[in-house]
Amino acid sequence: MNKNKSIYSPEYADLVELLTRERRRLGLSQAEVGESMGMSQSDVSKIENQDRRIDVYEFRKLLAAYRVQDNPRLKRYVQDFFGVMMKVEERKEFVHYWLNTRLNYAKSLSGEEFKKLHDEAAISQILADLIETSAKGFRGVVVTCLAGYHVDKSFNPLVDFYACNPRSIFEQTIWYVLTEYNIPCGKSDPLNVAKNINKLDRNWAKDRRPEKAALAAVAFFERYFGENDPEQQSLLEDYFFYKLIKYSESIAAIPVAGADISGVSRQWLAENLIQFSLNAPESGATPQWLIACLLKQLFKGSTTLVCGSEESVFGTNTTSKKPADLWLEYNDKVISLFEVTLKKIDQKRLEDFIESTHLSGLDGIPVTFICRIPEDISTLKDVTANTLFYKGRMIDFVDYSSFIRSSFALVHAEGASEIYDSMQAFVKQITTSVKAKGVWNSIFNN
């Protein structure tokens, strides 16, 4: 499963996903497509799972199989794909230079400059609602839209957000620059909050959480993209980056407690880490990281590898096609899959997981959901002895807190200390929310 992800660009990932949906829409099986192209069903599966590159000759035969000439939307997307790929390097260089310039300039400002704004007090409140929130995605989506506008002055997220190719512009450039400046962000922030909606307007904001931050983003868009005075528009942009820098500096200044755990029991540490992760889940990153730390200690010194934790916690690469939140590999083969969640598991979650593992060729691999029992499986039918047989798959459910307690019983004192140190390092990250830091300090500030 460890492949060179750098060759899988976001544009290529989008194209493969579109072609996969088109095959399903036409009612074609992978075997039927493979036969028309002179390849096996396995080859088609690997192409759709991005485990295998498709060359130009194969691509032409694939488009013929999908009758691209009869599908204007697909035809236009393919044409746009090659047009984007021709320009992507030039655009990356421009956005990298532009964003570095804006952030450096913002660091030099005092704040007095923004009194020239016609509605400085109102804009200040909008930016506070937008930036000073644990929901990182709204900050990321604004940076992406500002970059998109400087690439193409006709761009307007209130009309068509996806016209700026947000996945590419953020994941390939913006994320790296923001990380260099210690600005809290996730690897796929804009896509996580946009949710495949083209118009980032007030109707879109009503369905986002927190709605206050989403409405602030829309209010900023309305003000910025509706501004006809270039000087006022430039001040709005500078004010956003100024506030973003100040917020990041305030996050970096928050101290993170470091407790002396040399005399505590492993179960004391387990209970406190359970309480921390339950109260500061960080969209699932905290429990996933804690479970990963435990698994790594349990398999330390063996030839079994614990995989997936870095992608889950330190910025998910949406093109990486992870088979699960965490998984075990032995001799380069996946031997076990783990999903870690502190949310209710519904049928859609199961369907998405089964489809993902099927596309990864992992149908027969044991599956364990580590979750809260009974609350997270309360809506699932036919669960017996914490096991569900669903569409040919046997899925086990293990209680999150019980798993942590029993795992700590198997970890020696040095290993328990290493887990604590790893969790503390996780909390110290600039991307970890103010709330999570506060919860950690309330538990471990002794």
At 322-373, the pLDDT tens digits run 789 999 999 999 999 999 999 999 999 999 898 888 888 898 999 999 999 9
Q: Taking 90 as the threshold, does the pLDDT of residue 189 lie above it?
A: no
For residue 248, name the pLDDT band (cuts at 50, 70, 90). Answer: very high
What's the average model confidence in pLDDT over 150-167? 92
pLDDT at 4: 40
Higher pLDDT pick, 318 / 418: 418
Q: Return left, alpha or beta for 229; rule: phi > 0 is left, psi -120 to 50 is alpha, else beta.
A: beta
Q: Taking 80 as the threshold, does the pLDDT of residue 179 lie above it?
A: yes
Q: Spell out the domain ranges in the chain.
A: 5-70, 86-252, 266-444
Range name among 79-93, 113-127, 238-252 with the lowest pLDDT average: 79-93
pLDDT at 294: 97
pLDDT at 277: 97
Highest mean pLDDT: which range of 5-9, 369-373, 378-382: 369-373
Select the CATH number that applies to the domain covering 5-70 from these four: 3.50.90.10, 1.20.210.10, 1.10.260.40, 1.10.3080.10.
Answer: 1.10.260.40
Q: What is the pTM of this model?
A: 0.68
| pLDDT tens per residue across span 91-128 | 888 899 999 999 999 999 999 999 999 999 999 999 99
- Tokens 């060729």, residue located: 361
| pLDDT tens per residue across span 8-51 | 566 677 778 888 888 888 888 888 888 888 888 888 888 888 77
For residue 184, name the pLDDT band (cuts at 50, 70, 90). Answer: confident
Q: Taking 70 as the threshold, does the pLDDT of residue 81 lie above it?
A: no
Higher pLDDT pick, 396 / 90: 396
pLDDT at 165: 87
